[in-house]
Amino acid sequence: MDSLTQIVLGAACGEVVAGKKIGNRAMLWGAVGGTIPDLDVFAGLFMDEIASTSFHRGFMHSFLFAALAPWVLAKLTQWFYGANVYKRRGYKAGAMAIWLVFYLGAAAGINFIPVLLGEGLSWYALVPTVALGGWFGWKLWRDYWQPDLKLVEATYGTWVSLFFWSIFTHPILDCFTSWGTQIFQPFHDLRVQWCTVSVVDPVATVPFLILLLVASRIPKSNPARAWWNWAGIAWFCLYLLGYNMWHKVVVNQTFEQSLRAKNIEYQRYYTNPTIFNNIVWSGVAEGDTAFYFSQYGFNDCRREFNPISVIPKNHQLLDQVPADSRAGYFLRWFTDGYYNVVPYRGDTLQVNDLRFGLLGDSLKGNNYVFPILVFKNAAGEWDIYKNNRNKENLELSKKSFGNLFQRVLHGKCEIPQASSK
């Protein structure tokens, strides 16, 4: 899931392991552990597109990494406190800068949501984030920069346990989303994806964060601290394992019924929630020569996926890319076969990963969410470029997000057409 959710989950795990011993430092180090697997995104600075995309949610999200990394991190943490690095002004300034940069990034993301919805910057998002940022900066100054920090004393085993649970829960959570997580690396490149929760879901994260913040304000010796933390964990688990799983079952049944009602024959299908919610879901089914895409919302007036768009596979266009080439193998492995191909410009092809759906509830032109360009590079080898953040469909993106937001709140109802005589 998104970085904020992983930080909250890691912090909660840290609190469970060491909250009674070291207080809020347990949350802090748990948050660090929950962030570490996602540092694999920086592979893009040193690798090409294929290698970096393959590496993300790869080894650093594996069970083996979760088993090995905590031993090293525990030693580093003990040295960090034993050598009094945590008291040095230079370190404290750097740490404050990192936390402020992280907050600015999170605040920018929150304020960008109404922009995507076509509303522009909105005061109801801007004012709270600015106020919270001021409070956060003041807290860092008062509670972190000015005081002489106390020594944190915890055993090596405590640190190992803290880092293990904060790291191990990270890939497990990612398996609930639709990108695919290689938890068995380096032994197998299977990408596990249960597709029951959006990569960003405020209903899952915000209550969890609030309960964690309440716990952080309670002294470590007070039993109520653990109660609030466990309440947050319980909310998160019930949402993921109860509410979302129930939605997944209903959505799958509804998609199957909708396909049968249209007499559509298919080999397999794939369903997942749309971004920022668990109310509106997308479904794509694979036939012999085409895919069938549609959406359904739990607030819709009718329990059906409608309309259903027919998306020709055009897989033959990819025949010129050798299956055993890096690009050929990557495209089939990454998309799990849920892709179609369309001409782009010249000899360049566009491969659309249909697991991520369309901009809207039906196929309209080139409104694919995750297109990948396939081309021959300067060395004459087939290569790729992820084109999912191009500006070609910017206006359509804004309109689609606005429509999605309205459908989440109010559902979709078709108005019967008056019959003509």
Map out the domains of the chain as residue ranges. 3-187, 253-410
Q: Do residues 275 and 197 make contact, with C-beta atoms less than 8 angstroms apart?
A: no
- Compute CA distances 417 → 294, 407, 414, 421, whole Å: 22, 21, 9, 13
Residue 414 backbone dihedrals phi, psi, to 5 degrees: -90, 130
Residues of the chain above pLDDT 90, percent:
76
Kindly state the average pLDDT of the residues 27-42. Answer: 94
Give the distance, in angstroms, between the CA of residue 198 and the centroid of all CA atoms in the same chain. Answer: 7
Residue type, 331: L
**Calpha distance 366→345 (Å, rounded):** 13
Comparing 130 with 394, which gets the higher pLDDT? Answer: 130
Place of tokens 């919270």: 132
- pTM confidence score: 0.91
Kindly state the average pLDDT of the residues 127-154. Answer: 88
Kindly state the average pLDDT of the residues 307-314. Answer: 97
Q: Is the pLDDT of residue 420 over 80?
A: no
User: Half-sphere exposure of residue 398, counting CA atoms within 13 Å on the CB side?
Assistant: 11
**Calpha distance 209→162 (Å, rounded):** 19
Q: Do residues 382 and 321 make contact, with C-beta atoms less than 8 angstroms apart?
A: yes
Cα Rg, the chain, nearest whole Å? 24
- Residue 278 zone, left/alpha/beta (φ > 0; ψ -120 to 50; rest): alpha
Residue 150 confidence (pLDDT) = 83
Q: Is the pLDDT of residue 117 over 80?
A: no
- Compute CA distances 413 → 221, 309, 406, whole Å: 54, 18, 12
**Calpha distance 300→294 (Å, rounded):** 13
Three-state secondary structure string covering 290-335? EEEEEEEECCCCCCCCCCCEEEECCHHHHHHCCCCCHHHHHHHHHH
The pLDDT confidence band at residue 389, using thresholds 50, 70 and 90, is low
Residue 121: closest CA among 130, 131, 111, 129: 111
**Calpha distance 288→268 (Å, rounded):** 11
Residue 218 confidence (pLDDT) = 97
Task: Say which residues have a Cβ less than 8 Å from residue 335's Cβ, sequence separation at least 6.
Answer: 351, 353, 354, 355
Longest Cα–Cα distance in the chain:
88
Q: What is the mean pLDDT of the chain?
A: 92
Axis crossing angle, helix 156-175 with helix 3-22, rounded to the nearest 10: 160
Burial 13-47, CB ≥16 within 10 A → b, else e: bbbbbbbeebbbbbbbbbbbbbbbbbebeebeeee
Residue 418 confidence (pLDDT) = 38
Residue 417 confidence (pLDDT) = 44
Alpha helices in 185-297 (DSSP H): 202-216, 223-238, 244-261
Q: Do residues 293 and 308 make contact, with C-beta atoms less than 8 angstroms apart?
A: yes
Residue 30 backbone dihedrals phi, psi, to 5 degrees: -65, -40
Residue 273: closest CA among 293, 304, 295: 295
Q: Tens digit of pLDDT for each residue in 194-217?
A: 999 999 899 999 999 999 999 999
Residues of the chain above pLDDT 70, percent:
95
